Chain A
Amino acid sequence: MWKSARSGAALLCAALLASACGGGEQAGGTDAQPGEKVTLSYGVWDATQQAVMQELAAEFTKTHPDVTVNVQLTPWADYWTKMKAAVTGGAAPDVFWMNGPNFQLYASNGVIKPIEEQVDTSVYPKALVDLYTYEGKLYGLPKDMDTVGVWYNKTLFDQAKVKYPADDWTWADFKESAAKLTDPDKGVYAVGAELTSFQEYQYNTIYQAGGHVISPDGKKSGYDDPKTIQGLKFWTDLIAAKQSPDLKTMTDTAPLQLFEAGKLAMYWGGSWNVAEFGKNDYTKDKVDVAPLPKGEKQATIIHGVANVVSAKTEHPAEALELVKFLGSKPAADILGKKGPIPAYNGTQNDWVAAHPEWKLQTFLDSVAYAVPYPVSKNTAAWQEAELTHLTKAWTGEVPVEKAAADLAAGMNDLLAKE
């Protein structure tokens, strides 16, 4: 087993021109022995990326002829439920996609392998490297990244005679535009204060207000910080002023649908919305994107998917090679043409160039002040608490301060149990 892995590594070193495999020479000078054939399973959740993942898998096999990669697609809705069952049953894919909210759960339970060898992480945004580092060890190499911006409907801005958002706009500018853009007669709202998508809404304004969601050591909730509450009020004030639909309306019809029907002038969304808005006939030539407005600070949430190796894989060496390849520049170049923003610095130009009509550079520029997606060991538990408590603030049933205090208490209880 070990021997075949080593000869496999030697083989790929010979074939691979990339410098990532520099230590190859001393691993074994022998010529390519026809090694044992290895098949790696690779778990992914995004159907729109399935084709490009298969292309990357084929590319990997070109340089590692003994290794075939079998891309296994599980739709997002079932991905984590299935993954948990597979890991519990010892049948997890050798390599799979990991996200921020789930990462520490997997790392702290030892079901994914830390990357023991030295890799150059300076080529990825630091926030993403930090996201996939647990107790000082790196577990995954970032594959893609996303940040948040304000998508806006140019037609509605023109009709209301409001200037398009400037790159350096502030909360005050945002509120001023919001008031002008709201038109009850036409059923047009400035923005939808979405409750269910913290990554695009609350987390951004919380950090912009100078607040925080969770303490850096992941032990205390930040929801009792008055500045965090400011970040929440940003949204509830919009609902109170009827510049955003109320929660009932947004429960029935999601803000994304309202935006695509011309009922919302602005939509806080991610770089991943590019695909959606490019396909939609209504939004295709009516929207553009601006950076998030600046509060006390400038902030946007950054997140990205990483590739990780299962702790129980039978082929750890090959699996690590695959992860390294998927995090390499050649892989990022392929990904950037067809998929989301590659995480590898300097490979994002193709992604920006794909839609010259939009200022997509915005999403890349905002990496400079991006804040990592807040997580802890059992993120899902307190994410549920966020919804339970903040729903009451969003409907106006309970003042924001009270809901936030209750949430902080509940979240601290959950964090204490981790």
Chain B
Amino acid sequence: MTTTAGTRPPRSSAGAAHAAKRRGPRTEALWGYAFIAPTGLGLAVFYLWPVLQTAYFSFTEWGAFGGHTWVGLENYTRLIADPEVGRAMLNTLMYTALGLIGIPVAIVFAALMNRQGLRGVSVYRTAFFLPVVTMPVAVAMLWRWLYNGDYGLVNQVLSIAGIDGPNWIADPATAMYALVVVGIWSSVGYNLIIFLAGMQGIPKELYEAASMDGAGRVRQFFRITLPMLSPTAFFISIVSVIGSLQLFDLVFVMTGSGQSARANPAYSRLQTVVQLFYERAFVTNDRGYAAAIVIALLVLIAALTVAQFRLQRKWVHYV
């Protein structure tokens, strides 16, 4: 996003004629391009080209074993009329919105860990970070067991308090919330580390000055820590919204993997856009339509990201 100062292209600084005479800056630019070429090439081949191809395929109909015919906007008109797409979009947005609760949770934990003289910080850090380095599939399997309505640990604990817990993942009323909890649990460690780094970057003088002015710890947190952390929070929010919108593995495993997921009574509350894409592309052999679904998701992600960049002016403080 930001380029380092001083390496501007010669045209803007000195004018084309001048630059042509002095070979230096031009070869410098060439070298620059040479250095970014591997990354650029990788991006072009593995990201840009597939995106363009997918966009093209979204206007076609595919055979099960390749071969496609142009169908114009047919996939998109079908997409708008398809109740499953609307439902999957809503589920995904709901998960994304609820998942943002993970940000204040991470800030609170980071603040608690950032206290002076707290012992065993690295132990806590490791404990919180473990879910992040665990494979999502393993996380999902584990939670599937914890949430089991008859034999799961969650309901065992609740039964001590005399509560008869539901089938968390199979009950339409609880499934989405149960999923969000797992999502937050598995991402809080990563967010926490970033926030912790952000907090350690806040100048100590600010706190010293504040305590001299008589501000207590809580007030310092709300008046100094939070505003100073807002750029970090903005970054986390952008990344986690994009991640949530692409949710797949967790739902795929937790609902009951593969086609049997559809036999989960809560499936209509859990199905995400990427999962619908997977079903169309790999289960029912409807790849053109699947391409249209992901292009729609791409547009949604772009729209939400642009909206977030617009909104940041209202709440993000850059020093």
Binding site for B on A (CB under 8 A): 77, 81, 84, 87-88, 105, 109, 111, 195-196, 247-249, 251-253, 378, 380-381, 383-384, 387-388, 391, 394-395
User: Which stretch of B6-14, B16-24, B95-103, B282-290 is in the interface?
Assistant: B282-290
Contact for A251 among B151, B264, B279, B286, CB less than 8 A: B264
On whether the beta carbons of A251 and B284 are closer than 8 Å, the reply is no
A-B contact pairs, 6 of them (CB 8 A): A77-B257, A248-B170, A251-B266, A252-B167, A253-B150, A380-B285
Name A257's closest neighbour in chain B (CB-CB): B151
Name A92's closest neighbour in chain B (CB-CB): B65
On whether the beta carbons of A196 and B263 are closer than 8 Å, the reply is yes
Residue numbers in B under 8 Å from A109 (CB-CB): 63-65
Q: Which of B133-174 contact A (CB under 8 A)?
A: 147-152, 166-167, 169-171
- B260 interfacial by beta-carbon distance below 8 Å: yes
Q: Closest Cβ of chain B: how far from A224's Cβ, in Å?
A: 21
CA A349 to CA B284, docked complex, whole Å: 39
CA A197 to CA B64, docked complex, whole Å: 24
Residue numbers in B under 8 Å from A387 (CB-CB): 259-260, 262-263
- B66 interfacial by beta-carbon distance below 8 Å: yes
Residue numbers in B under 8 Å from A77 (CB-CB): 257-258
Per-residue CB proximity of B274-302 to A under 8 Å, as 1/0?
00000100111110000000000000000
Q: A248-B170, A251-B169 are in contact. Are A378 and B284 (CB under 8 A)?
A: yes
Contact for A388 among B152, B258, B262, B286, CB less than 8 A: B262
Per-residue CB proximity of B161-190 to A under 8 Å, as 1/0?
000001101110000000000000000000
On whether the beta carbons of B149 and A384 are closer than 8 Å, the reply is no
On whether the beta carbons of A381 and B263 are closer than 8 Å, the reply is no
Name A383's closest neighbour in chain B (CB-CB): B259
- B104 interfacial by beta-carbon distance below 8 Å: no
Binding site for A on B (CB under 8 A): 63-66, 147-152, 166-167, 169-171, 256-260, 262-267, 279, 282-286
Q: Closest Cβ of chain A: how far from B133's Cβ, in Å?
A: 24
On whether the beta carbons of B263 and A380 are closer than 8 Å, the reply is no
- Give how many A-B residue pairs fall within 8 Å (CB-CB): 83
Residue numbers in A under 8 Å from B263 (CB-CB): 195-196, 247, 251, 387, 391, 394
Residue numbers in B under 8 Å from A253 (CB-CB): 148, 150-151
Residue numbers in B under 8 Å from A394 (CB-CB): 263, 265
Task: Give the dominant DSSP class at A's interface.
Answer: helix
Q: Closest Cβ of chain A: how far from B153's Cβ, in Å?
A: 13
Q: Closest Cβ of chain B: how far from A252's Cβ, in Å?
A: 5
Residue numbers in B under 8 Å from A195 (CB-CB): 263
Residue numbers in B under 8 Å from A84 (CB-CB): 64-65, 282, 285
Name A391's closest neighbour in chain B (CB-CB): B263
Contact for A384 among B66, B169, B259, CB less than 8 A: B259
Contact for A248 among B65, B171, B259, B282, CB less than 8 A: B171
Residue numbers in B under 8 Å from A388 (CB-CB): 262
On whether the beta carbons of A252 and B65 are closer than 8 Å, the reply is no
On whether the beta carbons of B149 and A249 are closer than 8 Å, the reply is yes
CA A381 to CA B285, docked complex, whole Å: 8
CA A312 to CA B65, docked complex, whole Å: 13
Residue numbers in B under 8 Å from A249 (CB-CB): 149-150, 167, 170
CA A88 to CA B67, docked complex, whole Å: 9
CA A394 to CA B266, docked complex, whole Å: 12
Residue numbers in B under 8 Å from A384 (CB-CB): 259, 262, 279, 283-284
Name B282's closest neighbour in chain A (CB-CB): A81
CA A251 to CA B150, docked complex, whole Å: 11
Residue numbers in A under 8 Å from B63 (CB-CB): 109
CA A248 to CA B263, docked complex, whole Å: 9
On whether the beta carbons of A252 and B149 are closer than 8 Å, the reply is yes
